[in-house]
A and B are shown apart, each in its own frame.
Chain A
């Protein structure tokens, strides 16, 4: 379930090629819009399924086999994805929010692993520390990139969510 299907991969490759062309070609941009409208919901849904499976896998690994802990991590990451997606999210916003939540679990997991090994005095070789630090850095970079991409796409969607304060209560209204 983590792996994307061959059909999804093929469509993503095609969208990538079309996006490359569309950066300087209005005709290709119109074609890209049409393809995104017609095909992207299915492709995005496939990717979102994988993102959820990935999040569950990471939660399971982070829990160290403790079912309660696994549930707690999963729940917290799920809520984070929901909050980030906001009210009435587009399928792409859902996917990007899922990805941020997954990467958050990955970053937390790697930090915990790294700390556990690092603080065992004389227990860890410099090579191990270096490789672990590189992994951690790469996960962190991906996490930040994922947040930035989500913010860019949400900005593109415009202010679809209006926040109103009535009688001290914060209410979110969708346009």
Chain B
């Protein structure tokens, strides 16, 4: 979205993406153009805020998941050590008792 000066007057244009190319669309001048420009700016700002909020929430969700990752791994190791100590071994994802145990 942009204002362009031509012959001493300001004209408002909207940019549109069409098939990978950006196309300029003439909107007009004067009060109506100003209102449309203001609405465009509000929409753009709202979208940016929403994107930012989504990004923050996603980062937070990732952080929370990551915070428990070390604990998850430690618990798995301890449980596995317990199973191995009791004479089990893992075969194709299943725990089986060793014959010699």
Contacts and interface: CB of A to CB of B under 8 A. Distances in A.
Is chain B a partner of chain A in the same complex?
yes
A96 B79 contact: yes
Nearest to A123: B50
A92 B78 contact: yes
Interface string A127-164: 01001100100110010011001001100100000000
Contact of B74 (A4, A57, A110, A113): A4
Contacts of B85: 19, 22, 29, 32-33, 36
B interface residue count range (under 10 / 10 to 19 / 20 to 34 / 35 or more): 35 or more
Contacts of A117: 54, 57
B71 A51 contact: yes
A interface residue count range (under 10 / 10 to 19 / 20 to 34 / 35 or more): 35 or more
Main secondary structure of the interface of A (DSSP, over half): helix
A96 B75 CA distance: 7
A2 interface: yes
A61 interface: yes
Interface of B: 50-51, 54, 57-58, 60-62, 64-65, 67-68, 70-72, 74-90, 95, 100-101
Given A57-B64, A125-B51, A145-B76, 8 more contacts: A8-B74, A40-B82, A51-B71, A61-B64, A128-B54, A135-B61, A149-B79, A153-B83
